[in-house]
């Protein structure tokens, strides 16, 4: 009997251990993950083998890969998949389809550009033989590369007069030329010095052809620059607005079931709330309804040069103490121990005039090399009251915690989206406001500045990408409506449209934050979960569209042909 009881206790202990988050297999994997791991390995090895971008051989092989994995995914027994696995299924299939769509675009553009590259097939073929180490006929190859050089010269003369190419086709043409350079370099460096015949015949044809391909690529680049989809409006910022239809396609991919006009309406409603709160803070500071005067006083509260890092450390310590006192989320001690600081260079501050964060907190503050006016604008824009709103956004429980946990939980999920990344960080700004983190009217002004800024990002970025505003209008809007320093407004707009961010990135802060806020109302405000468990559950699911987070937390099984329908913000 004693032995029987011991066995029961051991079994109960093992069952309990298996259900703990650290040991539960579904905390780290899913049926779909088993396929995704193999997909990442297969795609990686194929991209390394078929290394020449824009080559037909590479595209065709990747097309087959994506089709094969769509079939493997479809073979899973959908009805037996739990909610988290179904989320993985829906998102992985979505990503595969997006990759296939991109290859279709590539195929179309390569067909349009084929007349510009009549010499390409022979160069690709030589590189393919090189991969298996086949001995080349050096004399014949030298003649072929010599003829290819003549063909490049002839095509370049025609291309220089061609004004019909769109910026996107010209960009693709530059990519093809660079890929051909890579192909002949790979071939040349493999054989030269080892194959006596190759080393005797090939140096001159290679050098000439490489130089000509480089010039050809540069010509395509020049065409792309001189035929932008938007002209310089005096701001010096030239981007490529994608249009109403392009925005709608991206919103569908990100699972945001709103139109651009509806999102702007949401932003305007949130902006109106901010303005009312700003007037309250302004009155409390003794400035009546002149909230810009109140903000001017706040901007004048900067610390002395050299003191900004220590001031930010103080704000960080306050915010973490606040999170712990209110038991808002579990903070791993190692995450608290290992974040670190660095300073943004003057060059980086041209496109990032404020904090950046993650495992490393990057601080914007003027250096001794800046012009005086730029120094003063940077100092004013990075004052302690403004910074109070964003330290927890950049570190804990924002980007720093996201990065820490993403490396440790469901790390296979490659469903990155700014609506999760930036939305989560922005959500903490809103939550700490609601919980009373601002101590004074000046703190409220600082936190409201950032909330207004995030509303403005939706308005100006969507207005730009739907061809309603120019970059200069966006800059003026930030200066006039949000009271930005002009240099900081220019940096913000430059970052938005030429900094490598996607067209929806800037709207994702506020919209993603509102999604998390709506989910909190469903689960925490309703009494179904306590707030710490709610936050801990989200941060262990890794990055994905917030509607999928909602499906998992509500155990709401998505349909196999899932389409976004969550209207998280009533209009």
Q: Is the peptide bond before 397 cis (omega within 30 degrees of 0)?
A: yes
252 contacts 547 by C-beta, under 8 angstroms: no
Per-residue model confidence (pLDDT) at position 13: 39
Q: Are residues 180 and 60 in the same domain?
A: no
Find the angle CA(88)-CA(90)-CA(93) to the nearest 5 degrees. 100
Q: Is the pLDDT of residue 92 over 70?
A: yes
What is the structure's pLDDT at 7?
45
- By percentage, how much of the chain surpasses pLDDT 90? 84
Q: Is residue 435 part of a domain?
A: yes
For 340, the enclosing helix (H) or strand (E) is strand 340-343
- Using pLDDT thresholds of 50, 70 and 90, give the confidence band for residue 85: very high
Work out the pLDDT band at 14, boundaries 50, 70, 90: very low
443/380 same-domain check? yes
pTM of this structure: 0.90
**Percentage of the residues of the chain whose pLDDT score is greater than 70:** 95
Q: Which is more confidently placed, 189 or 237?
A: 189
Residues 181 and 256 in one domain: no
Query: Could you say which of 113, 147, 181 is where a domain stops?
Result: 113
Count CB atoms within 10 A of the CB of residue 227. Answer: 15
In a domain, 7, yes or no: no
Domain membership of residue 569 (yes or no) is no
177 and 260 in a single domain? The answer is no
Confidence of residue 378 (pLDDT cuts 50, 70, 90): confident
Express each pLDDT in 255-304 by its tens digit: 999 999 999 999 999 999 999 999 999 999 999 999 999 999 999 999 99
Question: Is 434 within the bounds of a domain?
Answer: yes
Q: Give yes or no for residue 476 having a pLDDT over 80.
A: yes
User: pLDDT of 480-489, one tens digit each?
Assistant: 999 998 988 9
pLDDT at residue number 122: 97
pLDDT tens digit sequence for 387-420:
998 999 999 999 999 999 999 999 999 899 999 9
pLDDT of res. 367: 92
Range of weakest confidence among 229-243, 311-325, 331-345, 430-444: 229-243
Q: What pLDDT, on a 0 to 100 scale, did the predictor assign at position 228?
A: 53
Domain boundary among 62, 93, 113: 113
Same domain membership, residue 422 and residue 278:
yes
Res. 186: pLDDT tops 50: yes
User: Given a cut of 90, is residue 224 above it in pLDDT?
Assistant: no
Higher pLDDT, 351 or 39: 39
Q: Identify the pLDDT of residue 5.
A: 45
Supply the DSSP string of 414-477, one letter for each residue: ----HHHHHHHHHHHHHHHHHTT---SHHHHHHHHHHHHHHHHHHHHHHHHHTTS--HHHHHHH
Point out the domain boundary residue: 70, 91, 113: 113
Band (pLDDT 50/70/90 cuts) for residue 36 is very high
Average pLDDT score over residue span 13-28: 55
Q: Does residue 550 surpass a pLDDT of 60?
A: yes
* Whole-number pLDDT of residue 11: 39
pLDDT, position 167: 85
CA–CA distance, 565 with 535 (Å, rounded to integer): 23
**What total of structural domains would you count in the chain?**
3
**What's the confidence (pLDDT) of residue 197?**
97
Q: Summarize pLDDT for 45-71 with one digit per residue, the tens.
A: 999 999 999 999 999 999 999 999 999
Q: Which pLDDT does position 6 carry in this prediction?
A: 45
φ/ψ of 557, rounded to 5, equals: -60, 120
Instruction: Say what the pLDDT of residue 240 is.
Output: 86
**What pLDDT is attached to residue 230?**
63
In this model, does residue 74 exceed pLDDT 80? yes
Check the CA dihedral 540-541-545-548 and report its sign: negative
Q: Specify whether 99 is located in the same domain as 220.
A: no
pLDDT computed for residue 452 by the predictor: 98
pLDDT at residue 100 is higher than 70 = yes
Which pLDDT does position 9 carry in this prediction?
39
Is 223 within 8 Å of 159 (Cβ atoms)?
Answer: yes
Q: Mark whether 322 and 470 lie in a shared domain.
A: yes
Domain that holds residue 71: 25-113
Task: Indicate whether 354 belongs to any domain.
Answer: yes
CA-CA distance, 179 to 54, in Å (whole number)? 7
Could you tell me if 77 and 197 lie in one domain? no
At 15 the pLDDT is: 37
| Distance from C-alpha of 178 to C-alpha of 250, rounded to nearest angstrom | 29
Categorize the per-residue pLDDT at 8 as very low, low, confident or very high, splitting at 50, 70 and 90.
Answer: very low
> Do 396 and 505 fall into the same domain?
yes
Mean pLDDT of 151-170: 88
Domain contains 128: yes
Task: Report the chain's mean pLDDT, rounded to a whole number.
Answer: 93
Is residue 474 located within the same domain as residue 410?
yes
Domain membership of residue 4 (yes or no) is no
Report in angstroms the alpha-carbon separations of 62 from 42, 107, 415, 486, 537: 10, 12, 20, 46, 36
Among the ranges given (66-70, 373-377, 428-432), the one the predictor scored with the smallest mean pLDDT: 373-377
Q: For residue 360, is pLDDT > 80?
A: yes
Q: Can you tell me the distance from the alpha carbon of 371 to that of 209, in angstroms, rounded to the nearest whole number?
A: 46
Average pLDDT of the segment spanning 520-542: 98
* 3-class secondary structure, 364: coil
H helices of 132-202, in order, are 138-160, 167-191, 196-201
Are 544 and 508 found together in one domain?
A: yes
Polymer length in residues for the chain: 571
- Looking at the structure, do residues 81 and 172 belong to the same domain, yes or no? no
Nearest to 130 by CA among 76, 171, 185, 168: 185
What pLDDT score was predicted for residue 148? 98
- Inter-helix orientation angle 441-465/260-284, to 10°: 160
In a domain, 233, yes or no: no
């Amino acid at each position: 009997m004693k032995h029987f009881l011991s066995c029961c206790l051991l079994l109960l202990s093992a069952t309990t251990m298996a259900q703990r988050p650290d040991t539960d297999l579904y905390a780290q994997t899913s049926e779909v993950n088993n396929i995704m791991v193999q997909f990442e390995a297969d795609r990686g090895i194929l991209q390394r083998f078929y290394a020449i971008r824009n080559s037909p051989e590479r595209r065709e092989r990747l097309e087959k890969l994506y089709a094969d994995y769509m079939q493997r995914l479809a073979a899973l027994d959908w009805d037996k998949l739990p909610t988290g696995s179904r989320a993985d299924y829906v998102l992985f299939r979505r990503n595969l389809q997006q990759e296939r769509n991109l290859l279709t675009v590539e195929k179309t553009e390569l067909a349009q550009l084929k007349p510009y590259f009549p010499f390409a097939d022979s160069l690709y073929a030589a590189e393919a033989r090189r991969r298996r180490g086949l001995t080349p006929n050096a004399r014949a190859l030298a003649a072929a590369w010599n003829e290819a050089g003549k063909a490049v010269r002839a095509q370049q003369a025609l291309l220089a007069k061609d004004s019909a190419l769109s910026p996107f086709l010209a960009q693709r043409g530059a990519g093809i030329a660079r890929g051909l350079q890579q192909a002949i370099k790979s071939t040349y460096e493999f054989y030269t010095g080892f194959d006596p015949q190759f080393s005797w015949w090939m140096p001159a044809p290679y050098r000439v052809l490489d130089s000509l391909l480089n010039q050809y690529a540069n010509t395509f680049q020049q065409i792309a620059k001189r035929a932008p989809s938007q002209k310089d409006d005096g701001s010096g910022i030239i981007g490529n607005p994608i249009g109403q239809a392009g925005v709608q396609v991206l919103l569908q991919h990100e699972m945001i079931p709103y139109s651009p006009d509806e999102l702007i309406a949401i932003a305007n409603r949130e902006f109106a709330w901010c303005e009312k709160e700003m007037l309250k803070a302004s009155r409390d500071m003794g400035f009546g309804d002149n909230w810009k005067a109140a903000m001017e006083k706040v901007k004048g509260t900067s610390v002395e040069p050299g003191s900004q890092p220590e001031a930010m450390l103080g704000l960080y310590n306050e915010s973490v103490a606040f999170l712990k006192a209110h038991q808002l989320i579990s903070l791993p001690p190692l995450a608290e121990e290992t974040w670190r600081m660095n300073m943004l260079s003057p060059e980086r501050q041209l496109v990032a005039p404020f904090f950046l964060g993650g495992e490393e907190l990057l601080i914007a503050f003027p250096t001794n090399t800046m012009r005086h006016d730029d120094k003063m604008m940077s100092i004013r824009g990075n004052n302690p009251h403004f910074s109070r709103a964003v330290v927890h956004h950049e570190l804990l429980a924002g980007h720093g915690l996201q990065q820490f946990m993403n490396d440790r939980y469901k790390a296979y999920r490659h469903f990155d989206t700014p609506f999760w990344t930036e939305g989560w960080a922005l959500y903490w700004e809103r939550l700490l406001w609601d919980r009373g983190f601002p101590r004074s009217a000046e703190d409220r002004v600082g936190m409201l500045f950032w909330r207004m800024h995030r509303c403005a990002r939706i308005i100006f970025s969507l207005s730009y990408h739907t061809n309603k505003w120019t970059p200069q209008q966006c800059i003026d809007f930030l200066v006039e409506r949000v009271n930005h320093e002009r240099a900081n407004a220019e940096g913000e707009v430059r970052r938005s449209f030429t900094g490598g961010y996607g067209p929806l990135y800037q709207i994702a802060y506020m919209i993603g934050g509102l999604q998390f806020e709506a989910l909190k109302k469903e689960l925490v405000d309703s009494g179904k979960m306590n707030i710490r468990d709610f936050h801990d559950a989200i941060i262990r699911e890794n990055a994905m569209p917030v509607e999928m987070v909602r499906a998992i937390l509500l155990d709401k099984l998505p349909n196999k042909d899932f389409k976004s329908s969550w209207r998280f913000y009533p209009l």
